[in-house]
Structure 1
Amino acid sequence: MNIDFHYGVVYIVARIGGMTASDALTVAHACQYVDDATTSGILRFSGGETFERFATAHKLFDYTNTENDQNRLVWTPFHFLPAGIGETLEDKAVCRADSAVAREVVRRAIRQRGTDTALYRLGVTLHTYVDTWAHQGFAGIESQTNRVSLLEAEDCTREGWLAHLTRATRHLVQRIEEDVLTLALPVGHGAALHYPDQPWAKWHYVDGRNVRVKRHNLPEFVQAAEMTCRAVRAYIAGREDFESLPGLPEDVKAALTKLLDTNRNLDDNKRLQTVCEAVKTGVIPGLEESIPDYVPKGLGSWKYNATGLRSDDDSGDRPEWSDVFEKSDYRRFHDAVKEHRFVITQEILPSRGLRIA
């Protein structure tokens, strides 16, 4: 999923689920920041203090690398959560929508309610959770299941650049493109292009095991929003049985479904603008307010507010350590990331026979 869902829809659902605007903003920001926190390693302060960070995403184009160990630490716990189903490691590593593993991860986040990283942990967890719908059928390790061929979509959102070719030539070009992408992007859904993350998309392909896969994202994305609402209600109530709680009201679900289906700009930031405008103008029943702008990098970002640093490349910088940093969104987010990754890779997955880190 993209920023329109991770930030915009998660904010909507958190507010509908009963969160204050401030808490909903923290959860939504943390949810989206998982896709933008690309700086890893030790942050060194001028007085000698240090703080460890884990990247939750690769920088642009870095996802093409084939460093499988590093991919497992980034893609698997944050974007392609394994369902732990099957006999082999490859089978168990495949992401499945709303899996038992995913629900356990949500429960673990709810259990941390009351800690100073709790809202950030919930946001990180919800990113991973909703991505199980978008990224189902793919794995965060190099795997045959990530191979894609005969990829087609009903709405022809491939920018129209193949439209002038004959049908036979178009299919030949697509097959070459898919083969190249499959080899270049062996991890995750890279070879499936942008289709898994488009809320309205209807698409199909043949995977590496020669199984024909048909996908319709809209009902999947709405279900992800529904379950997110239940998770938020459970978090507020301090209950781990989130599946049993009410989800979205029917009028909200109908409005959100229409918004996700009709908001079809290929630029996900433009889609976020449409989502924010819908909230501001009362399109979502019971919610009429402005969603603050999301600032991922530079001036006004969580990192800048905590450290004064604007650049991702901070290896030569030495900010001053202070109480401002300790109480910052940036510190709390990264500590939540460490908690989230540890619980998944060292506790939940090994208990299901899957050791990846």
Structure 2
Amino acid sequence: MNIDFHYGVVYIVARLAGMPADQALTVAHACQYVDDATTAGILRFAGGETFERFATAHRLFDYSNTENDQNRLVWTPFHFLPAGEGETLQEKAVCRADSAIARDVVRRAIRQRDADTALHRLGVTLHAYVDTWAHQGFAGIDCEFNRVLRLEAEDCTTEHWLAHLVHATEHLVDDLESNVLTKALPVGHGAALHYPDQPWAKWSYVDGRGTPVERHNLEDFVCAADMACRVVQAFIAGADGFESQPGIPPNVKEVLRNVLANNRSDDDQERLQAICDSVHTGAIPGLKERIPDYVAKGLGSWKFEATGLLSDDDHGDRPRWGEAFERSDYRRFHDAVKEHRFVVTQEILPAHGLRIA
């Protein structure tokens, strides 16, 4: 899923669930920031203090995409939650929509609702949870389930396919066969291009085991939105059993389905703007307000507000550590990331017979 869902739709469902606007904004921002937090390592302060950060994403052609140990700590817990189904490691590592493991991860976040990092942890968890619908059938490790052959889509002409390819890789590729992408992008759904993340897409492929796979994203995305709403409702109520919450009202769900179905720009920023416009104009029943702009990097970002740093790589004067940093969304987000990763890799996955870190 892209920013239109992780930020726009998650904000909508949080508000529909009854969360105040400022809290919904924090949850939605944290949910999207999982895709943008690419700076890892120690943040060093002018007084000698340090703060550890984990990256929750790699850029598409980052070398780390080919380092399986790094994938297991980034793609697996945050983008391709394993379902733990099957006998082999590769089978267990495959992501499945709304799996038992994914629900365990959600329940653990709800139980931390009184923590200092609760809203940020909820946003991080929702990112991983809703991605189980978009990323089902793929894994966050290098495995045969990520092989994509004979990729087809209803709107996919040769020219359209090439446009997707160039947009996805930012490189000119001579050979357009999908198995070339499979070899170049062995982790996750890279070889399937952007189709898993487009709400309206109807597409198909043959996986690495020769199994034909048909995907109709729209109903999956609507289901993900409804379940995310239930998660927030349970978070507000302090109830583990989020599955029994009412979710999105039927009339609102139909409107949201139409918004997702008809919002078909290849540019996810344009799709986000359309979603924000639908909220601003009151097209979503019961919700008429402005969704604040999302700032990932630089001036106005969480990192800048906490540290004054503008660059991704921390170049420049070292920031001063103090109470402002400790209260910042940036600190809380990264602490929530550490909590989430530990719980997933060290507690939940081993309990389901899967050790990947």
TM superposition score normalised by structure 2: 0.95
Evaluate the alpha carbon distance shift between residue 158 and residue 34 of structure 1 in structure 2; reply closer, same or farther with a 3 A threshold.
farther
Q: Secondary structure at the match of 2:43?
A: strand
Q: Secondary structure at the match of 2:98?
A: coil
Q: Secondary structure at the match of 1:349?
A: helix
Question: Are the counterparts in 2 of residues 31 and 126 from structure 1 also a CA contact under 8 Å?
Answer: yes
Match of 2:56 in 1: 56
The CA distance in 1 between the partners of 2:36 and 2:149, in whole Å, is 29
Structure 1 residue 155 displacement after superposition? 2.0
Structure 1 residue 64 displacement after superposition? 7.0
Q: Secondary structure at the match of 1:65?
A: helix
- Structure 1 residue 40 corresponds to structure 2 residue 40: yes
Match of 2:216 in 1: 216
Matches within 5 A, 1:194-343: 194-314=194-314, 317-343=317-343
Root-mean-square deviation over aligned CA pairs: 1.6
Question: Are the counterparts in 2 of residues 63 and 185 from structure 1 also a CA contact under 8 Å?
Answer: no
Q: Secondary structure at the match of 2:66?
A: coil
Structure 1 residue 121 displacement after superposition? 0.1
Q: Which amino acid aligns with 1:204?
A: S
> Can you give the 5+ residue segments of structure 1 that lack an aligned partner in the other structure?
164-172
Aligned positions, number: 348
Evaluate the alpha carbon distance shift between residue 307 and residue 159 of structure 1 in structure 2; reply closer, same or farther with a 3 A threshold.
farther
Residue deviations 1:177-218, cap 9 Å, x none? 211100011100000000000000000000000000000000
Evaluate the alpha carbon distance shift between residue 161 and residue 54 of structure 1 in structure 2; reply closer, same or farther with a 3 A threshold.
closer
Q: Which amino acid aligns with 1:307?
A: T
Question: Are the counterparts in 2 of residues 31 and 124 from structure 1 also a CA contact under 8 Å?
Answer: yes
Match of 1:128 in 2: 128
Question: Are the counterparts in 1 of residues 200 and 260 from structure 2 also a CA contact under 8 Å?
Answer: yes
Match of 1:3 in 2: 3
Match of 1:90 in 2: 90
Q: Which amino acid aligns with 1:117?
A: T
Q: Which amino acid aligns with 1:335?
A: D
Question: Are the counterparts in 1 of residues 309 and 316 from structure 2 also a CA contact under 8 Å?
Answer: no
Q: Secondary structure at the match of 1:333?
A: helix
The CA distance in 2 between the partners of 1:264 and 1:63, in whole Å, is 31
Structure 1 residue 318 displacement after superposition? 1.4
> Can you give the 5+ residue segments of structure 2 that lack an aligned partner in the other structure?
164-172
Q: Which amino acid aligns with 1:311?
A: S
The CA distance in 2 between the partners of 1:120 and 1:175, in whole Å, is 42
Question: Are the counterparts in 2 of residues 149 and 175 from structure 1 also a CA contact under 8 Å?
Answer: no
The CA distance in 2 between the partners of 1:137 and 1:302, in whole Å, is 33
Q: Which amino acid aligns with 1:3?
A: I
Q: Which amino acid aligns with 1:57?
A: A
Evaluate the alpha carbon distance shift between residue 320 and residue 70 of structure 1 in structure 2; reply closer, same or farther with a 3 A threshold.
same
Identity of aligned residues (%): 76
Moved more, 115-124 or 306-315: 306-315
Match of 2:104 in 1: 104
Q: Which amino acid aligns with 1:193?
A: L
TM superposition score normalised by structure 1: 0.95
